[in-house]
Amino acid sequence: MKTSDPSENSSGRFAYDGLARVIHEKARLSILSSLSAHKSGLAFNDLKELCKLTDGNLSRQLQILKDEGFVEITKSNKGNRPLTIAQLTTAGRKRFLEYIDVLQNVVADAARNVKDESPAPASTRRGGLSTA
């Protein structure tokens, strides 16, 4: 039987208050992850392709992230074509990295708590095949 750590019993220990809903939505998490890997930003079409989003969905998600201060959008022209670049703001990058830290805690807690409950290898379970 696992002995519990007293800190695990503290109020709100697993609340993960740093998991911001604005980031946690799949499309926005994809966008922020992509932008964090491209410090100088990404063109709209490149971001759309990386995140597998439609034009409308990407536009909407970028607007939400812009309103929350995570990204800045720069519109210009390259040749005769419009060019939209999305880039993380300094504050947005900081908030995203803080969010990643909280996610790492979630993963570590989950891994630690399931480790003791891992099923036995298939060869030792009832009905499992044995190679011996």
CA atoms within 13 A of residue 26's CA, in its CB half-sphere: 4
Tally of domains within the chain: 1
Per-residue pLDDT tens digits for 21-51:
888 899 999 999 999 999 999 999 999 999 9
Residue 88: in which H helix or E strand, if any?
Answer: strand 81-88
Candidate ranges 11-20, 112-121, 123-132; pick with highest mean pLDDT = 11-20
Inside any domain, residue 119:
no
Sequence-distant (≥ 6) Cβ neighbours of residue 17 within 8 angstroms: 102
CATH assignment at residue 59: 1.10.10.10
pLDDT digits (tens, 9 = 90+) for 59-98: 999 999 999 999 999 999 988 899 999 999 999 999 999 9
Distance CA 20, CA 67 (A): 14
**Residue 101 within a domain:** yes
